[in-house]
């Protein structure tokens, strides 16, 4: 799976600037993000934030979330009308799977799942043709013709970031096969027939992200903050690259020094080795809408 | 391990059933966090959940790591706080108590920290530590680190290439020939200007395997060092490496060449006092 050139990449290659900005950022090394825009494939990621998205008690404001999702999907699709945007994403004949994440400490908010379901129904998909699952996805979502991938962004004890790419792990029979080298080849999952070409939308929930974790269950309430945002993209690599950038920026702000999360190698390799999407932040067009305070990125 | 854990503490009662996992099933429980444990000689995990009406749950996880070396190692993996006096080394923050004793690593987690849950977590920790018979020894290689300038909570003990890259990314390729048969310790040292140098010490099964690893590392990472032993990196810091018997020692991020050489010399002096 590895070419000789990839296998020999060292910390010094990053320092020399011979590796991509996304890789450098992934390792917490000096990078060139924000420098001149290089050529090559580009991707679009939309960030929408709203000050009232999360209530004082930590609960999610369902009405506000629906509005944020509508705004984000319309901006991503380049349409003014949310219904038009969703009709481009799913067809009435689709069997649609919403792939959520049920991690107890930071699950996909039910309010967001409901917002997605509501719009899919309005696009003409019968309610009976919508399935929602996480751990059982390999069985329950296997025959879906369209997938919507929605999960919260957080640091992950081994992969570095729990993002949209990693959310498809339940589609594989033996997850440990994708664990070597800190989950370097997670993107390979996206080439499996059970999911290949089916994903219509990725939603990375950044309402209350976890930017640093501890312990066997990798959670620490001190390192969760009310960012009150959601990210959407058609590109699972680009949305994870932006998510990792957000978590790293928050760590820099909070700790006053760089505390790299474990190598998020899989994001960079998703582009360079697997061709799944765009990992280089310089080639990602980030559209920011809504509440701008402490946006960080 | 069941006998190590009390059934009730300060109103928190054990909620049946207890759970147990091995190297194959631990993924079902730790949801992605298992790999770090599997880089060590992890054998079994015992988990008991405690509940109390009107309060959040407390979870006790006890890991049989096969040896005191690896119990210390997994404790060191993410240590960042001062000792709280439970077991052989410990730390507590935000509802999570971590400690090791003998061949066991223990993590006790309050799902929400309150004064009452903190007291209960500490009480359970003391009970578990008391129930573990005997004590283990810290890995000998850890004792070889020079004490001057050492950031004590930065010490990490591990075996594999994956674990090294987890703590300090060096290279995709395993240019130090690390494996389950090698012991490694990584630590940070205060250097000039408030910066921290990184020191890595690896013990190989034989002197020839250490020499072979040094040749591979030098060729891949700092070929320009040649006999000088140190080389300037692209960010202006200095790295260096040397071999002493079965031990390979390396310094990274040193602000000056002399500082890198000095740290290596201190390390050589220290390891010559210990069996190699």
Convert chain B into a string of H (helix), E (strand) and C (coil): CHHHCCCEECCEEEEEEEEEEECCCHHHHHCCCHHHHHCCCCCEEEEEEEEECCEEEEEEEEEECCCHHHHHHHHHCCCCCCCCCCCCEEEEECCEEEEEECCEEEEEEECCCCHHHHHHHHHHHHHHHHHCCCCCCCCHHHHHCCCCCECHHHCEEECCHHHHHHHCCCECCCCCCCCCCCEEEEEEEECHHHCEEEEEEEECCCHHHHHHHHHHHHHHHCHHHHHHCEEECCCCCEEEEEEECCEEEEEEEECCHHHHHHHHHHHHHHHHCCCC
Question: Cα–Cα distance between A177 and A195 in angstroms, integer?
Answer: 17
Chain A residue nearest residue B236, CA to CA: A15
Query: Comparing C-alpha atoms, which of B170, B172, B194 is closest to residue B184?
Result: B170
Strand order, beta sheet including B183-190? B156-158, B183-190, B196-203, B247-254, B238-244, B230-232
pLDDT of residue A79: 92
Mean pLDDT, residues A222-238 taken together? 97
Residue A96, helix vs strand vs coil? strand
Residue A229 has pLDDT above 80, yes or no: yes
For the CA atoms of B198, B204, B207, B211, the dihedral, rounded to the nearest 10 degrees, stands at -50
Of B68, B102, B131, the residue that ends a domain is B131
Residue A56 has pLDDT above 90, yes or no: no
Tokens describing residue A223: 């390192």
pTM of the model: 0.85
| Same-domain status, B54 and B110 | yes
- Closest-CA distance of chain A to residue B169, Å: 7
Q: Is the pLDDT of residue A262 over 90?
A: no
Over residues B85-112, mean pLDDT: 96
Least confident of A264-273, B112-121, B139-148: A264-273
User: Do B107 and B188 fall within a single domain?
Assistant: no
- On whether the CB atoms of residues A274 and A185 are closer than 8 A, the answer is yes
In a domain, A55, yes or no: yes
Q: Is residue A28 included in any domain, yes or no?
A: no
**Is B27 in contact with A176 (Cβ distance < 8 A)?**
yes
* pLDDT at site B3: 92
Q: Report the distance separating Cα B210 and Cα A112, nearest Å.
A: 55
Count the residues in chain B.
276
Q: Which residues of A touch B222 (CB under 8 A)?
A: 12
Same domain, B126 and B146: no
Interchain pair A12, B234: CB under 8 A: yes
**CB distance B172 to A7 below 8 Å:** yes
Can you read off the two tokens belonging to residue B214? 């040094």
- CB within 8 Å of B223: residues ≥ 6 apart: none
Task: For residues B114 and B152, state if they share a domain.
Answer: no
> Considering CB atoms only, which of B96, B113, B220 is closest to A8?
B220
Chosen from A1, A3, A9, A11 to mutate, greatest number of chain B CBs within 10 A? A11
Determine which of A63-72, A258-267, B71-80 has the lowest per-residue pLDDT on average: A258-267
Q: Whole-angstrom Cα distance, residue A192 to residue A271?
A: 16
Over residues B138-160, mean pLDDT: 94
Find the mean pLDDT for residues A157-167.
Answer: 90
The tokens for A66 are 């629906």
Name the percent of chain B lying above pLDDT 90: 75
Residue B199 CB neighbour total at 10 angstroms: 27
What's the pLDDT band for A126 if we cut at 50, 70, 90? very high
Binned at pLDDT 50, 70 and 90, residue A8 comes out as low
Task: Give the per-residue pLDDT at B235.
Answer: 86
- Are the C-beta atoms of B255 and B238 separated by less than 8 Å? yes
The number of folded domains in chain A is: 1
Helix (H) or strand (E) holding A146: strand A146-156
For the stretch A172-185, pLDDT in tens is 998 878 887 778 88
Pairwise CB contact (< 8 Å): A262 & B175: no
Dig out the tokens for B231 from the structure.
């080389």
Residues B117 and B146 in one domain: no
Residue A18: what pLDDT? 63
Residue A221 lies in a domain: yes
Residue A35 resides in a domain = no
- Nearest CA-CA distance, residue A73 and chain B, Å: 30
Shared domain for B43 and B127, answered yes or no, is: yes
- Confidence band of A283 (pLDDT split at 50, 70, 90): very high
Confidence check: pLDDT of A19 > 60: yes
- Give the model confidence (pLDDT) of B217-250 as tens digits: 999 999 888 777 899 998 899 999 999 999 999 9
Q: Which of A1-10, A142-151, A248-257 has the lowest mean pLDDT?
A: A1-10
Q: What is the pLDDT confidence band of residue A29, given thresholds at 50, 70 and 90?
A: low
Q: Are B113 and A157 inside 8 Å of each other by CB?
A: no
A17: in domain: no
A71-86 average pLDDT score? 94
Tell whether B152 and B235 lie within a shared domain.
yes
- Render pLDDT for A100-110 as a digit per residue (tens, 0 to 9): 999 988 999 99
- The whole-number pLDDT of residue B32 equals 64
What's residue A211's pLDDT?
A: 95
pLDDT at A180: 75
pLDDT band at A27 (very low <50, low <70, confident <90, very high): low
Does a structural domain hold residue A6? Answer: no
Q: Look up residue A109 and give its DSSP letter.
A: P
Number of domains in chain B: 2
- Residue A263: per-residue pLDDT: 66
Q: What's the per-residue H, E or C state across A232-292?
A: EECCHHHHHHHHHHHHHHHHHHHHCCCCCCCCCHHHHHHHHCCCCCCCCHHHEEEEEEECC
B8 with B124, same domain: the answer is yes
**H/E run at residue A150:** strand A146-156
Rounded-to-integer distance, Cα A37 and Cα A1, Å: 29
Higher pLDDT, B170 or A263: B170
What DSSP state is assigned to residue A108? P
Report the residue of chain A nearest B34, measured CA to CA: A216
Judgement on whether residues B208 and B156 belong to the same structural domain of the protein = yes
Q: Is A164 left (phi over 0), alpha (psi -120 to 50) or beta?
A: alpha
Residues B114, B182 within the same domain: no
The stretch B63-89 carries a mean pLDDT of 96
**Does the structure show a pLDDT above 70 at A39?**
no
Instruction: Provide mean pLDDT across the span A136-153.
Output: 97
Say if A297 falls within a structural domain: no
pLDDT at A21: 59
Residue B89's pLDDT band, with cuts at 50, 70 and 90, is very high
| Spatial separation of the C-alpha atoms in residues B98 and B86, rounded to whole Å | 9
More confident residue, B192 or B133: B133
pLDDT at A38: 60
A239-255: buried (b, 16+ CB within 10 Å) or exposed (e) per residue?
A: bbbbbbbbbbebbeeee
Residue at which a domain ends, from B131, B157, B192: B131
Range of the domain at B214: 140-272
Q: How far is CA B121 from CA A130, B89, B134, in A?
A: 44, 16, 22
Structure token digits, residue B131: 């129930």
Residue A249's closest CA among A81, B75, A84, A257? A257
Partners of A8 on chain B (C-beta within 8 Å) are 171-173, 220
The DSSP bridge partners found for residue A286 are A45
Q: Is A41 a member of any domain?
A: no
Q: SS3 for A137?
A: helix
Beta strands A43-49 and A284-290 are parallel
Looking at CA atoms only, how far is residue B226 from chain A in angstroms? 17
Q: CA dihedral in degrees (B143, B146, B147, B152; nearest 10)?
A: -70
Residue with tokens 């003391």: B126
First vs last Cα of chain B: how many Å apart? 34
pLDDT level of residue A275 (50, 70, 90 thresholds)? very high
Mean pLDDT (whole number) for B144-166:
92
Mean pLDDT across chain A, nearest whole number? 89
What is the pLDDT, as a whole number, of residue A33? 44
The answer to whether residues A121 and A131 touch, using CB atoms and an 8 Å cutoff, is: no
Q: Do B64 and B173 belong together in one domain?
A: no
**How many Cβ pairs within 8 Å bridge chains A and B?**
98
φ and ψ of B15, to 5 deg = -105, 120
Residue A231 has pLDDT above 70, yes or no: yes
Average pLDDT over residues B198-222: 95
Supply the range of the domain harboring residue A53: 46-290
pLDDT band at A214 (very low <50, low <70, confident <90, very high): confident
Tens-place pLDDT, residues B246-269: 999 999 999 999 999 998 998 888
Q: List the CATH number of the domain containing B81.
A: 3.40.1000
Assess whether B62 and B145 both reside in one domain: no
CATH number at A277 reads 3.40.50
Closest to B235 (Cβ–Cβ): which among A15, A216, A220?
A15
What is each CA distance from B59 to A109, A212, B127, in whole angstroms? 24, 20, 14
Q: Which residues of A touch B112 (CB under 8 A)?
A: 221
Given B93, B112, B131, the domain boundary residue is: B131
């Amino acid at each position: 799976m590895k070419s000789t050139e990839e296998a020999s990449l060292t910390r010094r290659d990053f320092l020399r600037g011979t590796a991509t900005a996304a890789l450098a950022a992934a390792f917490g090394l000096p990078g060139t993000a924000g420098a001149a825009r290089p050529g090559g494939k580009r991707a679009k990621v939309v960030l929408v934030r709203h000050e009232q998205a999360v209530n004082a008690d930590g609960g999610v404001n369902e009405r506000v979330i629906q509005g944020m999702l509508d705004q984000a999907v319309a901006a991503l699709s380049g349409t003014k009308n949310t219904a038009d945007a969703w009709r481009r994403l799913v067809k009435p004949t689709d069997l649609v799977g919403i792939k959520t994440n049920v991690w107890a400490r930071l699950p996909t908010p039910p309010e967001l799942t409901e917002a997605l379901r509501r719009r899919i129904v309005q696009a003409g998909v019968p309610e009976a043709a919508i399935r929602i699952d996480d751990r059982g996805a390999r069985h329950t979502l296997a025959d879906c013709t369209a997938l919507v991938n929605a999960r919260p962004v957080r640091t992950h004890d081994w992969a570095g970031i729990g993002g949209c790419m990693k959310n498809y792990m339940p589609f594989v029979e033996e997850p440990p096969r994708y664990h070597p080298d800190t989950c370097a080849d997670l993107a390979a999952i996206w080439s499996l027939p059970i999911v290949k070409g089916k994903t219509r939308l990725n939603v990375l929930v950044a309402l209350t992200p976890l930017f640093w974790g501890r312990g066997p269950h990798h959670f620490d309430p001190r390192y969760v903050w009310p960012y009150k945002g959601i990210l959407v993209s058609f590109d699972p690599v680009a949305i994870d690259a932006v998510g990792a950038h957000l978590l790293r920026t928050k760590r820099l702000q909070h700790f006053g020094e760089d505390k790299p999360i474990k190598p998020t190698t899989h994001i960079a390799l998703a582009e360079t080795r697997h061709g799944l999407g765009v990992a280089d932040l310089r080639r990602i067009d980030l559209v920011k809408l809504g509440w701008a305070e402490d946006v960080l990125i | 391990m069941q006998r190590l854990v009390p059934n009730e503490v300060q109103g928190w009662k054990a909620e049946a059933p207890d759970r147990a996992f091995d190297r194959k099933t631990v993924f079902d429980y730790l949801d992605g966090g298992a790999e770090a444990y599997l880089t060590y000689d992890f054998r079994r995990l015992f988990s008991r959940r405690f509940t109390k009406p009107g309060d959040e749950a407390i979870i006790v996880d006890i890991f049989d790591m096969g040896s005191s070396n690896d119990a210390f190692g997994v404790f060191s993996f993410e240590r960042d706080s001062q000792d709280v006096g439970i077991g052989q080394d410990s730390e507590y923050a935000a509802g999570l108590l971590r400690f090791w004793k003998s061949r066991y690593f223990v993590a006790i987690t309050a799902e929400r920290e309150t004064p009452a849950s903190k007291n209960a977590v500490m009480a359970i920790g003391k009970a578990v530590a008391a129930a573990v018979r005997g004590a283990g020894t810290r890995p000998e290689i850890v004792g070889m680190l020079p004490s001057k300038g050492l950031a004590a909570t930065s010490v990490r003990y591990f075996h594999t290439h994956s674990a090294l890259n987890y703590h300090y990314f060096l290279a995709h390729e395993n240019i130090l020939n690390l494996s389950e048969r090698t012991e490694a310790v990584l630590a940070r040292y205060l250097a000039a200007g408030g910066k921290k140098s990184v020191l890595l010490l690896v013990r190989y099964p034989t002197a020839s395997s250490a020499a072979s690893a040094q040749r591979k590392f030098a060729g891949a990472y700092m070929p320009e060092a040649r006999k000088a032993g140190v080389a300037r990196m692209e960010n202006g810091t200095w790295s260096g490496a040397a071999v002493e018997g079965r031990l390979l020692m390396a310094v990274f991020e040193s602000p000056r060449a002399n500082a890198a050489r000095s740290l290596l010399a201190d390390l050589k002096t220290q390891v010559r006092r210990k069996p190699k």
